[in-house]
A and B are shown apart, each in its own frame.
Chain A
Amino acid sequence: MGLYSLRRLLASVLTGVIASMLVFLLVRAVPGDVVAQMLGQTSDETAARTLRAFFGLDQPLWQQYLRWISQALQGDLGQSWLGGQAVGEKVGQAFLVTAEIAIFTLLAAVAVGLPLGMLSGIYDGRWGDLLIQGFNLLGLAAPVFWVGLMLLVFISATFGWSPPLIYSGPVDSLRDNLEMLALPVLSLGLLQAAACSQFVRQSVVSAFQQDYVRTALAKGVPVRSVFFKHILRNISITLITFMGLIFIQILGGVVIVESLFAIPGLGRLLLSAIEGRDYPVLQGALLVIMLCALVVNLVIDLLYRVIDPRVRLS
């Protein structure tokens, strides 16, 4: 276990280095640069030169990369080129907001999707299954921005209520925090609950077709016992994989929902950084998402062994 963990850790570091290079190069592949954005269309050439030199954009790419990565390894992600704020602070604040959304969404998705998926799998082919599959289809097909917009407009028109506009952390004001996150979590949760339900359903249906389940049922073991003792344990690995994937997906992919509900999270930060060609912020945010993905993957790998000792860690 120890050797395996060390090996996985080293592989993660290597992946991180390669990914950091990709991040660095990809953000620079976007046409246009920050100086043009800052100075506008009638900018002065001297001012543009001064700014390029100030940002180090006049240096070769490899030098820029080495400077950035060496600072990042020391915990310094630099400063935003547009606003001047510390990138670490900016990304950290945004990360906490998005992580909160991701956790709530995950809980909502599992709370709704897991029982629905199990019921659907157990009653495969019956009307209950069809009903749940209809819900799954709707949830998977409806675009998140559309669901969010409809919820916002519907609730506003019906109850004359809309979420607060200025984000408050759970410590500052739990009520404001929950009011602000309710609709975004609901919008994202519908899709993820549907995905979770579908995922679990497939696993349950597939498990019911396994020889050991058929044998147990043939020997007269009650369905409930078979389900909780054999099937649930076997689908837990796929469920954990699913949860990890969803968490990473939400961290990097809530741009539309965060923009729609004016939430100061990672997605909105990424979008504004791309629009402004704010490379340090863009790199910092992508690096954090990437590191999260590595950590989550590592944790999931290690959890496999905990859940099922038969899994070989090699």
Chain B
Amino acid sequence: MIKTTQTHRLRRAAASIFLTGAALLAAPSQAADTDLYGPVAANAVQGGTLNFGSLVEPPGLDPYHQGSDARIRFTVLMYQGLFYEGADGRALPLLAESYETSPDGLTYTMKIRSGVKFHTGAAMTAKDVAYSYNYLRDPKSGSPGAGDLSLISSIEAVNDSTLKIVVKKPSAALPMTLGNRYGGVVPINYFDKPDAGTSMNRVSVGTGPFKLGEFRPNSHLMMVRNPDYWEKGAPYLDRVAITFIPNSASLIVALRNKRVDLALLNRQQDISQVEQQPGLTVKRWRSLNQKAIDLGSELAPLGDVRVRQAIALAVDRNEILQASVGQYGRVAYTMVAGMQDEWGADPATLPHRKVDIDAAKKLMKDAGFDKGMDLTLTTINSYDWMEPAAVTLKQQLARIGINLNIQRADLGVWIKNFQSKQMGFTFNDWATQSDPDLMFYRHFHKAPEGADFRNWNDATASELLDRGRSELNPVKRKAVYVEFQKRMADTVPTIMLFSADLVTIGHDAVQNYQQHPSGWYYGLARAWLKK
């Protein structure tokens, strides 16, 4: 067996090199990565209720069957997986205390954390863990997380404190996959009850730092401190009262009048209204989100790589960023801002990065479009950044003879087109977990292994993604993903534009809150209120 501590050291060393580089950049804050959920506060005051204002609302709280990001943001505080998605891209053991990997990389033996109790009061054992993950990975469960675990061939409890996971192929992303996005460990046989999923809206059965107090759809979610939480002293707050306020103007008024202590805002015009407000602190955090242009090769002119390259050369990312979110974002090329330091290719080495209208025109001419062409861009209703971005892009593409028509689609229609790989030329807005395999594989690997939503069908890229998945050495693994990113920048299935920052606005009384780059509210488990 190879102790993973060595692997962790290597990854830490690699990470420290990248983070040194990152320190040189004037950048938004990046959450601390050494502790679960954020930094432990030595001087924290226990107690109090933090009022959190949320523009989005989870449709339900079942972490197994509800795929909405609005659900994940909150349920990560009530349900826990084996690993925690560290802000720096490392998977830190959570309900797993430690783990070892066999020399062939196919068997993971995990020691399960002791002294963990469910919100029901029952003690957690490896049998509960095995049951939970076996349920999650069963496609019949109907969970959106099932596909992520398809590499696993078996999960079994060796004894009450040891779990064995066997995978079909080595997967460096496995620990990150066993995180908190979907599922979470629940008591054995929990889903035998016919109304199990619905019950999760009334009573939480996880192991997280907070328990469900009350969930009133269209109104609020109350989470209360879990007194039996396995990490001594945590969390610091007695309650987190989350109010769902769908209108940002009302949220801003509530922040000003101290009805709300902390909120996440994402529109420039909203943030600017509270920036100068005494008693409120605005903080920017890097995100794992990307705003991108996707170029589906099924759409005739985009099947020609020269057209895609010409478009890439005509796109001025910074101009689009400024038009869309102003200063609250970072230009991205092939990697989201939250992972650039750890996994991103050096932008200077990427082809088609800089605007070059002459080269773009030549490519258009070579492709037979020297007299220009019409192209239709799809934007999604209610994604505010897309409107100004579309207008800016129209002006940019006009310089190489492309007449851009803009059509708006409802999210449901857009998702349907995306899933059926008929997306054409469209803006996209998506976030990832902090591992390149989870970010790239399903989106870009050719079928049937991946979904290849953009019909890229690139054998070289797919081979690189396979290598990246199975490579367990982090330094070599990064090299593989850098190659992949160069391939992506060269053949342009997508043009990543920027990562919007996560912007938190909090009252001065709110202490030690760190925003996770995923946008999930892990930081509430470490926040406390100054009296």
Contact = CB atoms under 8 A, between A and B. Distances in A.
Interface in B242-264: 243-247, 249-250, 253-254, 256-257, 259-260
Q: Which 8 A-B pairs have the closest CB atoms?
A: A32-B412, A84-B198, A82-B59, A44-B147, A83-B60, A46-B139, A264-B218, A50-B142
Given A43-B419, A50-B142, A165-B260, A264 B217 contact: yes
A277 interface: yes
B53 A165 contact: yes
27 contacts: A31-B410, A31-B413, A33-B416, A36-B416, A40-B415, A41-B419, A41-B428, A41-B453, A42-B443, A44-B144, A44-B146, A47-B144, A50-B140, A51-B142, A79-B198, A83-B59, A83-B61, A83-B198, A84-B60, A84-B201, A156-B257, A165-B243, A261-B250, A262-B246, A268-B218, A272-B57, A275-B411
Interface of B: 51, 53, 57, 59-62, 65-69, 139-144, 146-147, 195, 197-198, 200-201, 216-220, 241, 243-247, 249-250, 253-254, 256-257, 259-260, 410-413, 415-416, 418-419, 428, 430, 442-443, 451, 453
Among B51, B141, B247, find the residue whose CB has the most chain A CB atoms closer than 10 A. B247
B14 to A, nearest CB: 28
A80 B416 CA distance: 21
B413 A165 contact: no
Contact of A37 (B217, B244, B415): B415
A32 B259 contact: no
B425 to A, nearest CB: 16
A43 B412 CA distance: 13
Given A38-B144, A41-B415, A152-B250, 6 more contacts: A36-B416, A41-B428, A42-B442, A46-B147, A80-B60, A82-B60
A241 interface: no
B378 to A, nearest CB: 13
A40 B217 contact: no
A84 B253 CA distance: 32
Interface string A72-103: 00000001101111000010001000000000
B67 A43 contact: yes
A107 B216 CA distance: 29
B260 A262 contact: no
A250 B143 CA distance: 39
Given A32-B410, A152-B250, A38 B220 contact: no
Nearest to B143: A47
A33 B51 CA distance: 34
A32 B198 contact: no
Contact of A47 (B142, B219, B241): B142
Interface string A143-173: 0000001001100100011101111000000
Contacts of A149: 249
A173 to B, nearest CB: 14
A307 interface: no
Contacts of A23: none
Contacts of A156: 253, 256-257
Nearest to B214: A166
Given A82-B59, A264-B219, A38 B66 contact: yes
Interface in A268-314: 268-269, 271-272, 275-278
B384 to A, nearest CB: 15
A30 interface: yes
B142 A54 contact: yes
Contacts of A41: 415, 418-419, 428, 430, 453
Interface of A: 30-33, 36-44, 46-48, 50-51, 54, 79-80, 82-85, 90, 94, 149, 152-153, 156, 160-162, 164-167, 259-262, 264-265, 268-269, 271-272, 275-278
A259 B246 contact: yes
A50 B198 contact: no
Nearest to B256: A156
Contacts of A259: 246-247
A36 B257 contact: no
A43 B144 contact: yes
B253 A38 contact: no
A39 B144 contact: yes
A165 B258 CA distance: 11
Contacts of B412: 30-33, 36-37, 277
Contact of A42 (B59, B195, B451): B451
Nearest to A272: B218
A86 B294 CA distance: 40
Given A84-B62, A167-B219, A40 B243 contact: no
A37 B451 CA distance: 18
B257 A160 contact: yes
Nearest to B430: A41
Given A47-B147, A276-B59, A153 B139 contact: no
A36 B443 CA distance: 16
Contacts of A84: 60, 62, 195, 197-198, 200-201
Nearest to B415: A36
Contacts of A80: 59-60, 217
A162 B219 CA distance: 16
A262 B256 contact: no
A264 B57 CA distance: 12
B398 to A, nearest CB: 29
Contacts of A44: 139, 144, 146-147
B347 to A, nearest CB: 26
A54 B419 CA distance: 20
Contacts of A46: 139, 146-147
A162 B254 contact: yes
B433 to A, nearest CB: 11
A47 B139 contact: yes
Contact of A82 (B66, B143, B249, B259): B66
A80 B453 CA distance: 30
A162 B253 contact: yes
Among A44, A50, A164, A167, find the residue whose CB has the most chain B CB atoms closer than 10 A. A44
Contacts of B247: 259-260, 262
A264 B220 CA distance: 9
A43 to B, nearest CB: 5
B257 A164 contact: no
Nearest to A54: B142
